[in-house]
Structure 1
Amino acid sequence: MHEHGLGPNSAISRLPEIKLFDKDARTYTFDLYLVDMARVYKEGKEDMRLIGENTVKEMFHTAVGLLSVSLVSMDKTTIYEALFEKSSVTIFIISRDDDCTGRLMETNSSISKNKKNQKAEENVKFMAKLREAFHAVSSKSTDDDDDAYESGTEEASDFGLVFASDISSGSDGEESDEEDKQELSKGTVENKDDDDNDTTEECCDDKTAISSESCSERADDDEDTAKKCSHGYHSFLASCLERKLKVKEVFLDKNAKNLHSNDLLPLLGPENRIAAVCNFRARKVDNKKRVIHITFLSVKKHLRRLGIGTRIIDIIKTPQMSGLYDAMVVHADLNATEFFARNGFSGDPLLNKQWASFANEYVNCLLMTYFPPLSFGSPITSSSKLIQSIDKSIDKWLVDTGNVHQMQYTLCKRLRAEVLRLQNQLLAQDSLVQVLKREVVKQAHIIEELRRRLQKCGGDADASTSDPDTITFTMLPPPLGPDAQLSMCFNGVTLRDCAGDMDVPSFSPP
């Protein structure tokens, strides 16, 4: 593997081809290449080494173009620098030439069939834009020293015209026939391996949210890096626009009806062959955790229904590609969160809090994380580093769990003691209320007995008697009626209502 542990130890590695099928069981074959851009440019072989039929430099510019039309708010300088990062590698998915020519036949056949309708007029306007952009770019590509991308200098002369059919909005794109549109729409619905917006970007504001001090320190180096890796930008863009014009002119020719797909082979360029591109890197978090960071992922719009994006994610997840890692993260575009969620990524904020060191590098996107399985399926022994790591994690988990259990158990025991105390207090209060109730009933009976005795002794005696021991009716409380006697029963009276915490004196009959 490389020093960063991503892929084979080679600047350019060809990976096994992949075969995918659409809803009509049509087979698409793609070639895969893993490229370390920084290493290729360091060796000075960007114009000699090939990725398929094209040079590394051509595919580098093509990848930037495809990413720029997918991530419309991303500045190309940021894309160039990310793909040129020393700790990153880029996967190129390349279509076969027969599929590319077939695509050109499908998207341009309506030009020769309908030369007098509204679509023909739209095609003429589109070709006028192509010619205008081609002349503008060609004038900039004459000076070899200035043939590099500069942020904010381009207008209509953009990759948006080259990849017109892959712009999500479709406002300035090529117009395909209605049947093709319906096929694409159905394919997107029926094949849910990829979203219609199968892209991910780290930043949607063209700028990274890095501190001003670090920006000022790296400004000169970044400018030199961007200029070096984007050299030949205008020349390449001009060649793409020229090929685009020639393809349109071929289908406008009177002999276009007899055109065969093989006749378009000389007009194929890297912009036709590239199907998808993905850039990812390895990062260290707290000098302990190894994290795979997917920086960019973009798939051509008409191929998204095949599940290419999911296949790329599956390749990156393997230890053969990324080595052993603790997590895989992505700054997902807000339109692609469902795609990554289906591929095992989680956007839980608490889960992603551990990546705070680089979580805020980019804005207008959602940080999502995928955690690999404990074992990648390879035979392991008890002495392997993986098992040792698992054992350490288990021990740490046991300690943390024990601390939590201790706190929870202590709290439960204290709650139990509090409940027991309240129960005893309630029983004591209830007992006191019952004692007081019996005492009141007892006193009531004594009063009734005294009243009866008084009546027997002559309650109608002269009120003017001077005997102080004589008891009169006015000295006794009124007799208790039946309702009053029944109300003496306990009816939910508490200690606080009866006597509070005060001592209640005992009563005895006279």
Structure 2
Amino acid sequence: MANRGEILEEKLEDLKLQEKENISTNHHHVDLDHETYTRPGAQLSDKQTFTNKKGQTISGYPVIVDFRRLLQLSIGHSEELQKEHGIIQGISNNDLLHAVIGLYDVSLSEMTPDVLYSTVCEKWGRTIVLVRDIQETIDDLEERRKNEPQEQQEEKEDIEDDDGEKGSVKGSELSADEDVYEEDEEQPSKFAEVYSDTDTEAEEEEEGEDEEEDFSKGINSFISKVSDRRKTRKTSEGPVTKDMIGIENRIIGCATFEKKYVQGRIKSKHRDRVIHLTLVSVRKRCRNFGIGKFLLSQLVEPKVVGNYDAVVVHADNEAVEFFQKFGFSDDIVLNSRWKELAEQFTNCTLMCYLPGFSGHRLLTSIKIPGLEMYELEQEFLKWKEKTLEVYQQQVTCMMRMKQEVMQLKYTTTTQDKFLKALVEENEILKTDKLVAEKELLDYRLSTVKSAFGSEKSDQDESRYMAFSKHEGNGQEEPYDHIKDSAFFYDVTEQFKTEMMLDTQACKKCEVSSISKALVPEKTKKAYRAKVQSLKDPLMVLDLYFCGTLEHPERIKEILKEGFTERDFTCGDYGKGLYFSKYPFKAAQFSKIGNLLKVEVAIGNVETVVKADRTRTVPSQGFDSIITPGRLTHMLGQGDASMNQEYIIFDAHQVLPLCLLSYETS
């Protein structure tokens, strides 16, 4: 079975003979220097002539090359066979690749050769190369030799000539493994020894990765040949000949692109067909001839690159204006559509070119925009700025509305829970009120009937009547059946209900008797006067006195004359009179089986949490204080509000109401 390389050589030889026969048959005589493209479809168009503002001209043939495929097909071929069947007559495809990489390397200094080789030789990558005629290249070199001094000629040599000085080793002296690009080893990190697993991880990654094909093979040989040709031209006193000319002298510009399918920001089945312009460069001395514009015109031509939805490029900051001139947009919102491509490049501006709806292009016909086009461009820029401003305002408004909605939702949820709790509590209170009113009416009715219809028993009289002496005359005050019986009933029922709130208290509590306080009129006047002088005279509460435990003998005197400073208690929150809303808390500071119910004008109340036994007056602007209570720290259970105590520091703010005597079980 014949070797694969021999079969390819035979096919290429047949193709070459067939092309020669076609040329001779059609009597289409062309100079062999011009007919250099031996592969069908390689040459994009006829010879192109470019002119600068000074009237100077430069010509070249555009060629499109698939380097990856060509280099894979030429594996194992001899150098002579590669030159014979290259895209350009007499130039091997390997040398053409190295020359293109050399032009990119000099123009795009931020990209290393290994990155350039992999980019140009991508699977779907294509490169458009502008190549000069050999005779025109010779004429140009002769003209430059005559017009320029030797030092300037050396400085303005081709970009490949500059690389030639770096290659001092002959290509014949290098093996195939050595004749590749090698990147300089970087200095190891100072922290390399700190993390001992760094080297191990690197070795594992290298073992796991598939070895990529190296397209830089032959680079050193190419640079060596370029250096030899350059030295030959320098030392030769005669005219420049064809053997002194290489592909590095003939390339005037090139552009590399790749066709991709990109998923837009909106997820859908449709994927945009994008022409990704990855590299573009023009020789320094060939600039300002319109070569860059011509390369762009080829890149937006569907006949060259195929149908597409957009042409995308990562432009250097210095080249943004150049691309804008030919219809590329740097709009951030628009180019976010190609975010998938933005991760591959840094320090660049993402730009895109969108074709018209009809598919026609005007890039090659537009030269200098007229006044109408300028005005249209200015209107477009104004519209773009206004649209961007509106978009920013809308996004700002939406972000702030989002935060406001979240805050309102949280507030609504909190208030809804609070309202539900209030409604439930209100319903309970309404029910309790209706039951209490019904019981009160029934009790009053029975009391009135017994007062006018029959005599009250001695047991009831001892329980609901209290006889005390008036100060000064020694007479007894008779019992008011209707008024006082209602008062005693309310006090009794409230006492029994509140005593049951304490889960640790007694199971059952019954009031055995109630003694009404009969204080003198002057004490009542002093109390009323003190109430009117308070900051808030409407704040008056019925409370239980927490203080008869130490001096139970003072109970009778308090019922007859009222409170004095002798009844003050030196507690944790100061020296004063302590009161509570709950009888089971007041009972712990009172004589067993006896509780004093009083009316207290608390006025403007100050909340005090910190204990202070030296306090004797409320703070300025306040009439009393409310504290967590003296039993809070000892008990530490139940509702904290049940342990609270009110403290006043003026005896005239208190008016005794009655003494409750009770029995518990």
TM-score of the superposition, structure 2-length normalised? 0.40
Return the alpha-carbon distance in structure 1 between the equivalents of residues 360 and 105 of structure 2: 38
| 2:110 aligned residue | 73
Matched AA of 1:149? Y
Does residue 331 in structure 1 map to residue 291 in structure 2?
no
- Per-residue CA deviations over 1:395-443 (Å, capped at 9, x if unaligned) read xxxxxxxxx9xxx9xxxxxxxxxxxxxxxxxxxxxxxxxxxxxxxxxxx
Matched AA of 1:151? E
* Maintained 8 Å contact 1:11/1:36: no
SS at match of 2:287: helix
Q: Structure 1's 293 and 218: CA in aligned 2 closer, same or farther, altered over 3 A?
A: farther
Does residue 271 in structure 1 map to residue 248 in structure 2?
yes
Q: Structure 1's 132 and 89: CA in aligned 2 closer, same or farther, altered over 3 A?
A: closer
* Residue 103 of structure 1: how far off its partner (Å): 2.9
Return the alpha-carbon distance in structure 1 between the equivalents of residues 154 and 56 of structure 2: 33
* Maintained 8 Å contact 1:141/1:147: no
| 2:53 aligned residue | 23
Return the alpha-carbon distance in structure 2 between the equivalents of residues 217 and 27 of structure 1: 51
| 1:365 aligned residue | 348
Same amino acid, percent of matched pairs = 30
* Maintained 8 Å contact 1:147/1:235: yes
Return the alpha-carbon distance in structure 1 between the equivalents of residues 40 and 206 of structure 2: 29
| 1:224 aligned residue | 212
Return the alpha-carbon distance in structure 1 between the equivalents of residues 321 and 100 of structure 2: 24
| 2:70 aligned residue | 40
- Per-residue CA deviations over 1:276-314 (Å, capped at 9, x if unaligned) read 111101111115111100010011111111101101111
- Per-residue CA deviations over 1:265-285 (Å, capped at 9, x if unaligned) read 220001001111111011111
Q: Which has the higher contact order (CA 8 A, sep 6+)?
A: 1
* Maintained 8 Å contact 2:138/2:242: yes
SS at match of 1:143: coil
Does residue 294 in structure 1 map to residue 285 in structure 2?
no
| 1:353 aligned residue | 336
* Residue 60 of structure 1: how far off its partner (Å): 0.4
Does residue 13 in structure 1 map to residue 42 in structure 2?
yes
* Residue 16 of structure 1: how far off its partner (Å): 0.9
* Maintained 8 Å contact 2:171/2:225: no
Does residue 85 in structure 1 map to residue 122 in structure 2?
yes
* Maintained 8 Å contact 2:145/2:153: no
Return the alpha-carbon distance in structure 2 between the equivalents of residues 345 and 276 of structure 1: 20
For structure 2, list consecutive stretches of 5 or more residues without a partner in the other structure: 1-38, 187-200, 264-269, 362-389, 395-665
* Maintained 8 Å contact 2:51/2:58: yes
Return the alpha-carbon distance in structure 2 between the equivalents of residues 264 and 148 of structure 1: 30
* Residue 51 of structure 1: how far off its partner (Å): 2.8
- Per-residue CA deviations over 1:201-229 (Å, capped at 9, x if unaligned) read xxxxxxxxxxx99x9589844x532x2x1
SS at match of 2:241: helix
Return the alpha-carbon distance in structure 1 between the equivalents of residues 74 and 153 of structure 2: 46
> Please, which of 109, 133, 139 is the counterpart of residue 166 of structure 2?
133
* Maintained 8 Å contact 1:281/1:292: yes
Greater helix share, structure number: 1
Q: How many residues align?
A: 293
| 1:340 aligned residue | 323
Which ranges of 4 or more aligned residues in structure 1 deviate by more than 6 Å? 118-123, 128-132
SS at match of 2:315: strand
Q: Structure 1's 224 and 303: CA in aligned 2 closer, same or farther, altered over 3 A?
A: same
- Per-residue CA deviations over 1:35-82 (Å, capped at 9, x if unaligned) read 111221232368253232312111001000000000112110111001
Q: Structure 1's 329 and 121: CA in aligned 2 closer, same or farther, altered over 3 A?
A: closer
Structure index of larger Rg: 2
Matched AA of 2:142? M
> Please, which of 167, 172, 177 is the counterpart of residue 145 of structure 1?
177
> Please, which of 236, 247, 270 is the counterpart of residue 222 of structure 2?
236
For structure 1, list consecutive stretches of 5 or more residues without a partner in the other structure: 1-9, 155-211, 251-255, 379-403, 409-510
Return the alpha-carbon distance in structure 2 between the equivalents of residues 342 and 129 of structure 1: 32
| 1:56 aligned residue | 93
Return the alpha-carbon distance in structure 2 between the equivalents of residues 347 and 302 of structure 1: 29
SS at match of 1:240: helix
* Residue 344 of structure 1: how far off its partner (Å): 0.8
Q: Structure 1's 120 and 344: CA in aligned 2 closer, same or farther, altered over 3 A?
A: closer
SS at match of 2:212: helix
Q: Structure 1's 131 and 55: CA in aligned 2 closer, same or farther, altered over 3 A?
A: closer
Q: Structure 1's 365 and 122: CA in aligned 2 closer, same or farther, altered over 3 A?
A: closer
Matched AA of 2:45? P
* Residue 316 of structure 1: how far off its partner (Å): 1.3
Return the alpha-carbon distance in structure 2 between the equivalents of residues 23 and 70 of structure 1: 23
Q: Structure 1's 269 and 150: CA in aligned 2 closer, same or farther, altered over 3 A?
A: same
* Maintained 8 Å contact 1:141/1:234: no
* Residue 365 of structure 1: how far off its partner (Å): 1.2
Return the alpha-carbon distance in structure 2 between the equivalents of residues 43 and 16 of structure 1: 25
Return the alpha-carbon distance in structure 1 between the equivalents of residues 103 and 54 of structure 2: 27
Return the alpha-carbon distance in structure 1 between the equivalents of residues 295 and 316 of structure 2: 17
Return the alpha-carbon distance in structure 1 between the equivalents of residues 180 and 153 of structure 2: 35
Q: Structure 1's 60 and 122: CA in aligned 2 closer, same or farther, altered over 3 A?
A: closer
- Per-residue CA deviations over 1:317-337 (Å, capped at 9, x if unaligned) read 111112221111001122211
Return the alpha-carbon distance in structure 2 between the equivalents of residues 219 and 89 of structure 1: 30
| 1:424 aligned residue | none
| 2:235 aligned residue | 249
TM-score of the superposition, structure 1-length normalised? 0.52
Return the alpha-carbon distance in structure 1 between the equivalents of residues 260 and 321 of structure 2: 25
Return the alpha-carbon distance in structure 2 between the equivalents of residues 151 and 39 of structure 1: 25
* Maintained 8 Å contact 2:100/2:254: yes
| 1:282 aligned residue | 259
* Maintained 8 Å contact 1:141/1:232: no
Q: Structure 1's 321 and 122: CA in aligned 2 closer, same or farther, altered over 3 A?
A: closer
SS at match of 2:44: strand
* Residue 34 of structure 1: how far off its partner (Å): 0.8
